[in-house]
Amino acid sequence: MNINRDFLRELQLQSKNPGTWTGMQSHDSGTYIPSHSPVDGALIGEVSVTTKEQYEEVIAKAQEAFKTWRMVPAPNRGEIVRQYGEALRKHKDALGRLVSYEMGKSLTEGWGEVQEMIDICDFAVGLSRQLYGLTMHSERSLHRMYEQWHPMGIVGIISAFNFPVAVWSWNSMIALVCGDVCVWKPSEKAPICGVACQQIFQDILKENNIPEGVVSLVNGDYKVGEFMSKDHRLPLISATGSTRMGKIVAAEVASRLGNTLLELGGNNAIIITPNADMKVVLTGAVFGAVGTAGQRCTSTRRLIVHNSQYEKVKEVLAKAYGQIRIGNPLDSDNHMGPLIDKAAVEMYMNAIEKAKAEGANFIVEGGVLEGSGYESGCYVKPCIAEANKDMAIVQTETFAPILYIMKYDTLEEAIAIQNNVPQGLSSAIMTDSLKESEKFLSAAGSDCGIANVNIGTSGAEIGGAFGGEKETGGGRESGSDSWKAYMRRQTTTINYSDVVPLAQGIKFDL
């Protein structure tokens, strides 16, 4: 495979070992994490693992930077984020290519991810003038009462490989306008994307004479994540990844009474009713299941299909799956690239085996692709299995393009099946019936954080609050009023009378 790597040069990532950037001049620990592209297996670069001593230095710098940053007026903080958005526009092509090459998602999705970063920058710039608090009427005369929002301090961000740049920006761009400083640990499976985002941000901080500790990067596996979750100097940890990881982080942060914002596993379903438009079903379901090779937390994993539509849906999907082109994601002819690594391939194969052992019937077979173009060993076939709602494998999130399809009779039954999983991130119904869609959206409907009508389960816009219930962790990131998770609320009462009347009419005369 011949991949032009000019994009690495544009992102100042020419050297084989770009090292980590933590806001410090030099940061080489001598231990490295290599990043191999799942596209062709080639070594893209290495980052040095952050030691405990280096972590302490990063936190000290971040603490120092917070003292300056929290006093910069919020709209001026928004101006820095605006400049970052501009820089991302300039580097959209190169950064999108790096995302595609390091993570394996299709180039259009790589660009889409950078677009998601740009969108959140725009959102955060506007937000920087809208961090509103409420004013209340005091029960005491000549008193004023209101609430104000202050920055919290250092926000620790732990992100996953599947959205190696966008998820960090959802958190950090919002946190930054709120006046927090950010320390980011990207996934060790896509660390070079983290270095690129960091380099671009550091240039902007330098140009504006702002302390580099406002945005920092640390690298490593769960041990570095543990430095963060156990560190009382980090009042908020925002973690994206598996439910298993989230439970550990939640317990560690809770034991020091810190705050968490968790965005964990999904097991997202689409309900297809007799009133569904098949064209809409096709794009929504196939992109949901196959996009990003099934490695989104919002990927469609289950189709719950009305009896009357079942055979038709099976037929239409099987035909569509036959047309999916799998290969180098940088080639825009391909719909689907590789899984992130061979361990992911193994998990995919194990899930297929388990599904078969539990009696699932594969109507589109899976398997690992071999031969020319597939040398990295990470390319697999998307597959579809007829399954039962209660099978253990159907209850599990497998980060791979495996779609389980099942039947229902009544809408109530379909909603019950949809809700009958431990996770609660995203959900959808395909219908042109107002009654069906309203039932799905009612309090007795979907129990997920995201509920869509005639849209697949993935591909949320940044303007809404993103996250889900149950084992998805309950956090909300990105749009709407998610910013409140990054700030502390202060209720203030001011007495401008000459006496001190006590609330609730209490008398205390001296």
Q: Which residues are catalytic?
A: 263, 297
- Beta carbons within 8 Å of 244's beta carbon, 6+ residues apart: none
Q: Would you say 3 or 280 has its CB closer to ligand UN1?
A: 280
Closest CA to 425 of 241, 309, 297: 297
H-only helix segments in 164-242: 166-177, 191-207, 222-229
CA separation for the pair 340, 37 (Å, rounded): 8
Enter the tokens of residue 3: 């991949």
Three-class DSSP category at 480: coil
DSSP for 15-79, written as a single string: SS-----SSSS----S-EEEEE-TTT--EEEEEEPPPHHHHHHHHHHHHHHHHHHTTS-HHHHHH
Distances (CA, A) of 480 to 25, 92, 127, 241, 250: 37, 25, 10, 22, 24
User: What is the contact surface with ligand UN1 in residues (CB under 6 A)?
Assistant: 116, 162-163, 167, 240, 296-298, 458-460
Q: How far is the CB of 254 from ligand UN1 (least distance, A)?
A: 22
Q: How far is the CB of 263 from ligand UN1 (least distance, A)?
A: 6
Q: How far is the CB of 215 from ligand UN1 (least distance, A)?
A: 21
CA 53 to chain centre: 29
Q: Would you say 115 or 138 has its CB closer to ligand UN1?
A: 115
Q: How far is the CB of 430 from ligand UN1 (least distance, A)?
A: 17
Give the Cβ contact number of residue 389 at 10 Å.
19
Q: How far is the CB of 280 from ligand UN1 (least distance, A)?
A: 18
Closest CA to 487 of 47, 184, 25, 127: 127
Distances (CA, A) of 398 to 87, 376, 404: 36, 21, 11
H or E element at residue 426 = strand 426-430
Enter the tokens of residue 361: 């019937």
- Cβ–Cβ under 8 Å, residues 109 and 100: yes
Q: How far is the CB of 179 from ligand UN1 (least distance, A)?
A: 25
Closest CA to 242 of 398, 379, 113, 353: 398
Enter the tokens of residue 296: 């989104």
Q: How far is the CB of 23 from ligand UN1 (least distance, A)?
A: 26
Q: Would you say 102 or 116 has its CB closer to ligand UN1?
A: 116
CA separation for the pair 368, 378 (Å, rounded): 8
Identify the residue whose tokens are 């009347």.
Answer: 501
Q: Would you say 397 or 436 has its CB closer to ligand UN1?
A: 397
Q: How far is the CB of 265 from ligand UN1 (least distance, A)?
A: 10
Q: How far is the CB of 297 from ligand UN1 (least distance, A)?
A: 4
- Cβ–Cβ under 8 Å, residues 175 and 185: no
C-beta nearest to ligand UN1: residue: 460
- Cβ–Cβ under 8 Å, residues 351 and 397: no
CA separation for the pair 248, 239 (Å, rounded): 11
CA separation for the pair 258, 253 (Å, rounded): 5
Q: Would you say 85 or 288 has its CB closer to ligand UN1?
A: 288
What is the bridge-based pairing of β-strands 181-185 and 259-263?
A: unpaired
